[in-house]
Structure 1
Amino acid sequence: MPRTNPTPAHPTHLVPLSAAAEHFHVSVKTLRRRIADGTIAGYRVGRLIRVDLDELTQNLVVAIPTSRSV
């Protein structure tokens, strides 16, 4: 059975892992781990792996709760 990759539902801005890592100030290794554990999706373009910056922003950036009440 052939493997199917998730296809994005909207037009994407796919960038190399190195560019995404620099943008989010994380390592390429961190992004590869997140792709492996399913937190983010990686898209294969030929031999290269690309990620969607919008998807990374949604899935990688997490707000830190504070104990202050406003």
Structure 2
Amino acid sequence: MDTRSEPLVSIDEPAARLGVSTKTIRRGISDGTLKAVRIGPRLIRIDAASLASAGRPLTVARADR
């Protein structure tokens, strides 16, 4: 049996927190950006730790004034 210490969250939770659609979260699961597990035939949960590392760092160009 696989016991996880990381919390698992539903697809709706990160979508609401990040202000994106659930379809965007599902795309992240599909392309491997987000780690997820299927529990039963329909229930999908996302590894909460993978959410923190999912974004890209933003580079900001300095404007010379």
TM-score by length of 1: 0.70
2:39 aligns with 45
| SS across alignment from 2:50 | helix
Offset of residue 28 of structure 1: 0.5
Given candidates 8, 18, 21, the residue that maps to 2:15 is 21
5+ residue gaps, structure 1, are: 1-6
Q: Provide the aligned length of Structure 1 versus Structure 2.
A: 59
Alpha carbon RMSD of aligned pairs, Å? Answer: 1.8
Counterpart residue type for residue 36 of structure 1: S
Task: Give me the identity figure in percent.
Answer: 37
Deviations 1:11-50 (A, max 9, x none): 2110110112111111100011111111112111123001
Larger Rg: 2
SS for the counterpart of 2:30 is helix
Matched, 1:57 2:20: no
- Structure with the larger helix share: 1
Unaligned runs of 5+ in 2: none
